[in-house]
Amino acid sequence: MTGSEASPSFRLAYVPGVTPTKWVRIWHERLPGIPLDLVPVPAAGARDLLRAGGADAGFVRLPVDGTDLSAIPLYTETTVVVVPKDHVAAAVDELSLAELADEIVLHPQDDTLVWERLPGRPAIERPATTADAVELVAAGVGVLVVPQSLARLHHRKDLTYRPLSDAPESRIALSWPQEKTTDQVEDFIGIVRGRTVNSSRGRSAPPAARAKEKPKRDGGGQGARKPAAGKSGSAGAKGAKGSRGARGGAAAKRGKPRRRP
């Protein structure tokens, strides 16, 4: 697609737990003339939002169903168990799923983990959201297994969390509609992948960025080249010195007075 088909602003969706601050800052530095609008979206609704055109691209949790959305996996999160600070699990550095066998493990309806088999004992009812589940953990009803970013997002002073060694993991990806890969989407892909403004795979740098680039010297310029290393350079230096010596000797002979017979 051409740039003329892109929207005047770039709309970036992100699911809970993702912090897009770093990438947004780079966007504003490189493309100050194009506003970037952040669109928070529940994890379960991110893909539908992209398909409906509610955002140009978004940070989502894998998997991405269907073939109409492109996705670039970015990183995998650590899975943790959230417990009260006075829970016995708080005394260890890491737990396994087997150690949760006797615990009531809350399973919210917006759970972002894909389970083959739920750990522990089920609660009487499933909490509607992860935030509701965190409140129940604080009340001593059970424990909660989530990606670490969600444990941080819903942090409470009376709760803590520990890594869970053999639990499913959540992967974060950048996704966008495959048929709407605009120039702005390409720009953001380059930012997320760490490309510089001069990258051959990225688009050309904006005028502000190009103005900061230092001019390069080529063979036809006026900049002096460094002498080549090796014997050829030494021989050239010696030859130049010898030439100057020969000219000096000739000048001395011409200036020497002749003796009369």
- Which CATH architecture is the domain 79-163 placed in? 3-Layer(aba) Sandwich (3.40)
CATH of the domain spanning 3-76+171-206: 3.40.190.10
Q: What is the 3-state secondary structure (H, E, C) of 146-201?
A: EEHHHHHHCCCCCEEEEEECCCCCCEEEEEEEHHHCCHHHHHHHHHHCCCCCCCCC
Predicted confidence at residue 66, as pLDDT, reads 78
Q: What is the 3-state secondary structure (H, E, C) of 98-148?
A: HHHCCCEEECCCCCCCCCCCCCCECCCCCCCCHHHHHHHHHCCCCEEEEEH
More confident: 236 or 33: 33
Q: Are 79 and 150 in contact (CB under 8 A)?
A: no
Give the mean model confidence (pLDDT) for residues 197-220. 48
pLDDT digits (tens, 9 = 90+) for 133-180: 999 999 999 999 999 999 999 999 999 999 999 999 999 999 999 999
Predicted confidence at residue 228, as pLDDT, reads 43
Predicted confidence at residue 65, as pLDDT, reads 82
pLDDT above 90 covers what percent of the chain? 70
Residue 248 has pLDDT above 60, yes or no: no
pLDDT digits (tens, 9 = 90+) for 64-80: 887 899 999 999 999 99
Place of tokens 């030859």: 239
- Structure-block tokens of residue 260: 């009369």
Helix (H) or strand (E) segment spanning residue 50: helix 46-51
Residue 121 has pLDDT above 60, yes or no: yes
Give the mean model confidence (pLDDT) for residues 211-230. 42
pLDDT digits (tens, 9 = 90+) for 11-36: 999 999 999 999 999 999 999 999 99
| Gyration radius from the chain CA atoms | 33
Helix (H) or strand (E) segment spanning residue 234: helix 231-255
pTM recorded for the entire structure? 0.72
More confident: 128 or 197: 128
Predicted confidence at residue 211, as pLDDT, reads 42
The Cα 118–Cα 100 span in angstroms is: 10
The Cα 164–Cα 143 span in angstroms is: 12
The Cα 140–Cα 255 span in angstroms is: 109
Q: Where in the sequence of the chain do the CATH 3.40.190.10 domains occur? A: 3-76+171-206, 79-163
The Cα 189–Cα 166 span in angstroms is: 32
* Residue 195: pLDDT band with limits 50, 70, 90: confident
The Cα 141–Cα 136 span in angstroms is: 5
Helix (H) or strand (E) segment spanning residue 253: helix 231-255
Beta bridge partners of 161: 82
More confident: 198 or 47: 47
